[in-house]
């Protein structure tokens, strides 16, 4: 009886279903980020604040030297691009036309000349203001609230490429309104200007700022000490699902090299920021930096984890006893895993390839990105980690089992090559449910139930080996009824990185949509679910009856 009803409902769903569209070939998700084309990977550069605050050693000579060192020390080559100045660059009063005036003692040739110098080094230039009547420093420099268009136009005329926009003296005006006004003012200049929201996480910007800024601070200010760095990490880590290319969580600038932490702690700081796909803004005076500091800041393997184009912020796998395991899937199918010991003694930290989302292989290679040693494992991943230390492995699959057997198979019955999911693990033949593995309920979209399929939560990325022997993927997709009318997602299917199907935006109020995609010849199938652009919450997404047909 129940079966017959199920068949009827499924047939009905097939009738109303839309066909899929074949689209462009990009691997980079575009849903709901600020569409100014910037920060497709987290921004990298320098900001003077952590090194100088408002002191007089923050001046033209310093900033020019930083640009020089970016080139001479290989920082530019390692990916650092923006040379940014923070608070205290302006005079306390606007001029008679209401324009901001650079402080002539610090910047005798003005800001435009400084930006020109930075540009001449093949770098980009950023500055700072506040979405308030004054900036944050007690000296009280003018803020841009109510002056958005005029200030943005002036900065654009100077060649500014980046704005850090603070939150002090905001007069209680709604944050979203204040930051949106500046977003629009920057856009009106016609110059691409990266927009870095610095609102300290006070109004949960991760729930509204994806379309407003390229990044948003998630916490109060960092300090050059272990306790502050640790507490910021702990606040920023659970926000992984809100980050995406063009729109990043910002746990504040780096303190690496400033002297308040050990090199082991600074390596942890840098590793954790990279695992969290954080902006990497050097905050030390590079004129005084020793080789240990430069070695940390230029570790290209760790930088590659931060800058990976898949753009997924690493997620917590476990954290028992302050022994953190954080996993970050990478574009080439590897997974970076951070084993971070927040405790006071050496500890063994262990996980497995399966727990970090890798599967369907006989062996895995572990590349230690700090010691640069490499070894293989059949699945166990473990390291002895000193107090406050972090081991980062790039884990690669070796000896994958090639293809599903001939005929049509349910994907939920096959081992995945890679699984990354924003709310606990993806479920097989169940909805995502809550975070624990194996919970959830019968997959249900718009009242239609599915015995088989995958229950996920955006952002989700699941990959299967096809061994180039399969022809067609089909599924009935939609937002699971377990979230009511909430949730909004986009389903995408890729064959070897080529997009072969896209559901378009599906909301909790929509029914089932059919996807059918030609995957002929592909070695790898990617099933991607992106947040549809409202809040990134309640995005429970079902791949109902997901099948693959192989020769």
Which lies closer to ligand GLA via its Cβ, residue 227 or residue 320?
227
Catalytic option among 221, 263, 301, 429: 221
Site for ligand GLA in 158-177 (CB under 6 A): 166
Is residue 136 within the footprint of ligand GLA (CB under 6 A)?
yes
From the CB of 297, what's the least distance to ligand GLA, in Å?
19
Q: How far apart are CA 337 and CA 334, in angstroms?
A: 10
The verdict on 510 binding ligand GLA (CB under 6 A) reads no
One character per residue 418-447, x = contact with ligand GLA (rule: CB under 6 A): ------------------------------
User: Which residues on adjacent β-strands are paired with residue 165?
Assistant: 129, 197
H-run or E-run covering 189: helix 175-189
User: With binding defined as CB under 6 A, does residue 229 bind ligand GLA?
Assistant: no
At a CB cut-off of 8 Å and minimum separation 6, what does 236 contact? Answer: 218, 219, 249, 251, 276, 278
Q: Environment class of residue 96 by beta-carbon count within 10 Å: exposed (0-12), middle (13-18) or buried (19+)? A: exposed
Q: Are 331 and 308 in contact (CB under 8 A)?
A: yes
* Beta-strand pair 335-341/488-495: unpaired
Pick 47 or 396: Cβ nearer ligand GLA = 47
- Give me the least distance between CB of 135 and ligand GLA, in Å please: 6
Contact 268/369 with Cβ under 8 angstroms? no
Residue 420 near residue 528 (C-beta atoms within 8 A): no
What does the angle CA 357 – CA 358 – CA 360 come to, to the nearest 5 degrees?
135
Q: Please, what is the minimum distance in Å from the beta carbon of residue 255 to ligand GLA?
A: 12
Ranges within 22-51 binding ligand GLA (CB under 6 A): 49
The 3-state secondary structure of 60-78, one letter per residue: HHHHHHHHHHHHHCCCCCC
The first and second tokens of residue 142, run together, are 């003018």
CB-nearer residue toward ligand GLA: 129 or 299: 129
Task: Specify the stretch interacting with ligand GLA by CB under 6 A; choose among 133-141, 278-286, 458-466, 469-477.
Answer: 133-141
Give the chain's largest Cα–Cα span. Answer: 84
Shortest spacing between CB 535 and ligand GLA, in angstroms: 25
Active site residue 166: yes
Tell me which residue has its CB nearest to ligand GLA.
Answer: 136
The distance of closest approach from Cβ of residue 201 to ligand GLA in the complex, given in angstroms and rounded to an integer, is: 11
Q: By CB under 6 A, is residue 87 in contact with ligand GLA?
A: yes
* Cis omega (within 30 of 0) for bond into 336: no
Task: Rank residues 130 and 293 by Cβ distance to ligand GLA and give the closer one.
Answer: 130
Q: What is the three-class DSSP state of 121?
A: coil
Alpha-carbon distance 541 to 445, whole Å? Answer: 9
Comparison of 129 and 503: residue with beta carbon closer to ligand GLA: 129
> Closest separation between CB of residue 136 and ligand GLA, Å?
3
Nearer to ligand GLA (CB atom), residue 221 or residue 263: 221
Applying CB under 6 A, the residues found at the interface with ligand GLA are 49, 86-87, 135-137, 166, 198, 221
């Amino acid at each position: 009886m129940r079966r017959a009803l199920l068949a009827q409902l499924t047939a009905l769903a097939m009738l109303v279903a839309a066909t899929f569209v074949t689209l462009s070939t990009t691997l980079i998700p575009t849903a709901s980020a600020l569409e100014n084309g910037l920060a497709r990977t987290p921004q990298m550069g320098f900001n003077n604040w952590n090194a100088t605050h408002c002191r007089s050693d923050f001046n033209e000579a310093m900033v020019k030297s930083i640009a020089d060192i970016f080139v001479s020390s290989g920082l530019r080559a390692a990916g650092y691009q923006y040379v940014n100045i923070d608070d205290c660059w302006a005079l306390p009063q606007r001029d008679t036309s209401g324009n901001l005036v650079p402080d002539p003692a610090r910047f005798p040739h003005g800001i435009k000349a400084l930006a020109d110098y930075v540009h001449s080094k093949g770098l980009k230039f950023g500055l700072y203001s506040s979405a308030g009547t004054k900036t944050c420093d007690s000296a009280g420099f003018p803020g841009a609230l109510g002056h958005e268009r005029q200030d943005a136009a002036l900065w654009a005329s100077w060649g500014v490429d980046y704005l850090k926009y603070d939150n002090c003296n905001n007069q209680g005006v709604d944050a979203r309104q204040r930051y949106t006004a500046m977003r629009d003012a920057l856009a009106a200049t016609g110059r691409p200007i990266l927009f870095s929201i610095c609102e300290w996480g006070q109004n949960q910007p991760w729930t509204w700022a994806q379309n407003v800024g390229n990044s948003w601070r998630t916490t109060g200010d960092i300090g050059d000490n272990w306790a502050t760095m640790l507490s910021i990490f702990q606040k920023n880590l659970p926000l992984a699902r809100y980050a995406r290319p063009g729109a990043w969580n910002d746990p504040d600038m780096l303190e690496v090299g400033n002297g308040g932490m050990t090199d082991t702690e600074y390596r942890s700081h840098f590793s954790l920021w990279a695992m969290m796909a954080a902006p990497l803004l050097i905050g030390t005076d590079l004129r005084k930096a020793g080789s240990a500091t430069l070695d940390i800041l230029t570790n290209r393997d760790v930088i590659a984890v931060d800058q990976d184009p898949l753009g997924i912020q690493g997620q917590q796998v476990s954290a028992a006893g302050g022994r953190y395991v954080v996993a970050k899937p990478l574009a080439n199918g590897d997974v970076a895993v951070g084993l971070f010991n927040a405790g006071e003694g050496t500890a063994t930290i262990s996980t497995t390839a399966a727990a970090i989302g890798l599967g369907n292989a006989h062996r895995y290679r572990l590349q230690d990105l700090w010691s640069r040693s490499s070894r293989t494992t059949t699945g166990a991943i473990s390291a002895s980690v000193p107090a406050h230390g972090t081991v980062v492995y790039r884990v690669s699959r070796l000896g994958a089992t090639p293809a599903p057997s001939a005929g049509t198979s349910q994907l939920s019955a096959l081992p995945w090559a890679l699984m990354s999911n924003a709310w606990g693990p993806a479920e097989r033949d169940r909805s995502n449910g809550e975070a624990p593995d194996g919970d959830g309920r019968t997959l249900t979209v718009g009242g239609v139930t599915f015995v088989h399929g995958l229950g996920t939560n955006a952002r989700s990325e699941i990959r299967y080996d096809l061994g180039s022997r399969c022809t067609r993927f089909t599924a009935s997709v939609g937002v699971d009824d377990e979230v009511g009318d909430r949730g909004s997602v986009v389903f995408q299917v890729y064959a070897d990185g080529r997009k072969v199907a896209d559901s378009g935006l599906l909301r909790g109020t929509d029914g089932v949509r059919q996807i059918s995609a030609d995957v002929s010849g592909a070695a790898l199938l990617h099933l991607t679910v992106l947040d549809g652009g409202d809040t990134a919450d309640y995005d429970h997404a079902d791949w109902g009856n997901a099948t693959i047909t192989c020769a």
